[in-house]
Amino acid sequence: MEDKTMSKFQLITKGLVKDNPTFVLLLGMCPTLATTTSAVNGLSMGLATLFVLVLSNMAISAIAPVVPDKVHIPVYIVVIATFVTILQLLMQAFTPGIYATLGLFIPLIVVNCIVLGRAEAFASKHSVGDSALDGLGVGLGFTLSLTVIGLVREILGSGSAFGWKFLPGDGMLAFVMAPGAFLVLGYLMVLFNKYLAKK
């Protein structure tokens, strides 16, 4: 019993550091770079992906036993695209501001390799409950990375954190724009590597 709860706990926490989708597995780079102009934007994108991950993982683990092997990829893609569109409609209805900011990158969750990757590597072989936890863990790891990158870019680029401005002036604008995304992610990855090497 002790052992089992531990493993459930690990399902959730492994995505945060050891199997962090952004810094270790290098998955889902496009939304990571494009939507992290501020901490709030990064957080919203992370949560949107989390939503799709958990639901598609659950649905796929439920239907996996009856899907013929040769068509499993198209079936998974259709399932994922369905949840993405549901999310898109819900966001349009209830959080139009965030939807306008994240724009194109909401429909593009469909081709985020994290989602299809988890479906293929985990959900198709495990129970619905475990798959949900796995989606939650990986989603949280993704959300955490995006929020951190967004926070760093926001602090350097506009002198604020989560919209709260604490530095006067405009900040270094390059960090809000495209080059800053690559630079911040590159240097954060260096720090992450250093941290992992020490451990």
Partner 1 sequence: MEILLIIVSAIFVNNIVLAQFLGICPYLGVSSKLSTASGMSAAVCFVITLATLVTYLLNKYLLLPFGLEFLQTIAFILVIAALVQMVEIVLKKVSPSLYQALGIFLPLITTNCAVLGVAINVVTKEFTFGLPSHMLGLGEAVLYAFATSLGYGLAMVLFAGLREHLALNDVPKSFRGVPIALITVGILAMAFMGFSGIA
Partner 2 sequence: MAVQSNLKSMVLCLTTVCLVCSALLAGVYAMTKAPIDETSARILRESIGAVLPEGGELSEPVAAEVGGQQSEYYVLTKDGAPAAYAVKSCVPGFGGTLEVMVGVTADGVVYNTSVLSHQETPGLGAKCTTDVPFMEQWRGFDPAARVLAVRKDGGDVDAITASTITSRAYTLAVKNAVDLVRSLAGAAPTDGATGASVRPAETQNDGGQDNE
Q: Which is nearer to partner 1, 167 or 196 (CB)?
A: 196
Stretch 92-111: interaction string toward partner 2, x if CB under 8 A = xxx-x---x-----------
Give just the sign of the alpha carbon dihedral 92, 105, 173, 16: positive
To partner 2, the closest distance from the beta carbon of 133 in angstroms equals: 21
To partner 2, the closest distance from the beta carbon of 60 in angstroms equals: 11
Q: Is 17 in the site for partner 2 (CB under 8 A)?
A: no
Stretch 175-194: interaction string toward partner 2, x if CB under 8 A = -xx-----------------
Q: 124-159 burial, b for 16+ CB within 10 Å, e for fewer?
A: bebeeebbbbbbbbbbbbbbbbbbbbbbbbbbbbbe
Total Cβ atoms within 10 A of residue 94: 9
To partner 2, the closest distance from the beta carbon of 94 in angstroms equals: 7
Whole-number Å distance between alpha carbons of 177 and 54: 31
To partner 2, the closest distance from the beta carbon of 101 in angstroms equals: 8
Total Cβ atoms within 10 A of residue 10: 13
To partner 2, the closest distance from the beta carbon of 140 in angstroms equals: 25
- Phi, psi of 37, rounded to the nearest 5 degrees: -70, -20
157 binds, among partner 2, partner 1, none (CB under 5 to 8 A by kind): partner 2
Q: What is the residue whose two structure tokens read 């040769």? A: 70
Return the percent helix, strand and coil in the chain, to nearest 5.
75, 0, 20
Three-point CA angle 173, 177, 182, nearest 5°:
115
Q: Which is nearer to partner 2, 91 or 133 (CB)?
A: 91
Q: Which is nearer to partner 2, 18 or 170 (CB)?
A: 170
Of 36-95, which residues contact partner 2 (CB under 8 A)? 37-38, 63-72, 74-75, 78-79, 81-82, 85-86, 89-90, 92-94
Q: Interface residues with partner 2 (CB under 8 A)? A: 37-38, 63-72, 74-75, 78-79, 81-82, 85-86, 89-90, 92-94, 96, 100, 157-158, 170-171, 173, 176-177
